[in-house]
Amino acid sequence: MTTTKTTTAAQDEKFRAEAAMFDAQAEKARSETRSFNLVLAREEKRDRELAALNEELNVYHFFGEVGDKSALMLMRSIERFARIQPDKEIEILFTSPGGSILAGLAIVDHIRALRRQYNVKVRTVALGMAASMAGILLQSGDVRVMGRESWLLIHQASLMAGGSYGEVMDTLDWIGKVQERIVDLFLERAGDKITRAEFKRGWKRKDWWLSSADALKYGFIDEVR
C-alpha cells in the first residue's frame, strides 16, 4: 500500500514537472512570437514610410520580372507621379532579370508618352542587375545610371514558337523585326561609341554581360554611381 502511494506521488510529481516544462516552453514560444510580430510590425511600418517617401520623391523601385502586372503597376505609378508633380524628375530603379518583351515595350512607349504630355524627365537606374528586357528599359531614361557593382545583360530575343510551319515562320519573321528594334533602342542612345556590327557580335548566340564600366564605355549608360 505504501509503495503504491509512493509510486503515485512520484508519478504526480513527474507529471507536474512535465506540465511546468511544457508551460515554460509554451510561454517561450509565445514570447518569441510576440517579439517576431513586433519586429514584423516595425519592418512593415518602415516599408510604408519608405513607400510614402518614394511617392513624394517620385521614385519607383521595379524589383522582379517584367510582366503584364508589374508593367501595369509601374506605368500607373509613374503616370501618377507625372500628373501630381509634372516638373519633378521621375526615378525608376531596376533590379530585374527581364521578362516579357511586349510588356517591356509597352513601358517604353508609356514613358515616351508621359515625356511628350507632361514634359517630364525620367532617370533610370540599374541596381544589382538590369538583364534582358530590363536592360532595354534602362535605355528609356533621359539619364541612365548603373550602380558600380551592377550588371547589364544583353541578349537576343528568345521565343517559343508553335503551330503550323507557316505560323512558326511568321513568328520567326516577327521576332527578327523585334530584334532589330531592340538593337535600334540601344544604338539610338549609344551614339558613335559602338557600331551595329559590333553590337551584334557582342550578343550573337550568347548572353552578353557588361559591368557598369563596360556599359559606360559602350554608351549604354551615362553615369556610374
Active site members? 132, 155
β-partners of residue 176 are none
CA–CA separation, 110 and 112 (whole Å): 5
Q: How many CB atoms lie within 10 A of CB 221?
A: 30
Distances from the Cα of 52 to the Cα of 47, 49, 171, 179, angstroms: 9, 5, 43, 38
Please list, in sequence order, all residues whose beta carbon lies within 8 angstroms of the beta carbon of residue 124, skipping any fewer than 6 positions away.
91, 92, 94, 137, 138, 139, 140, 141, 143, 144, 145
- H/E stretch holding 94 reads strand 90-96
Q: Grid coordinates in use for 208? A: 552578353
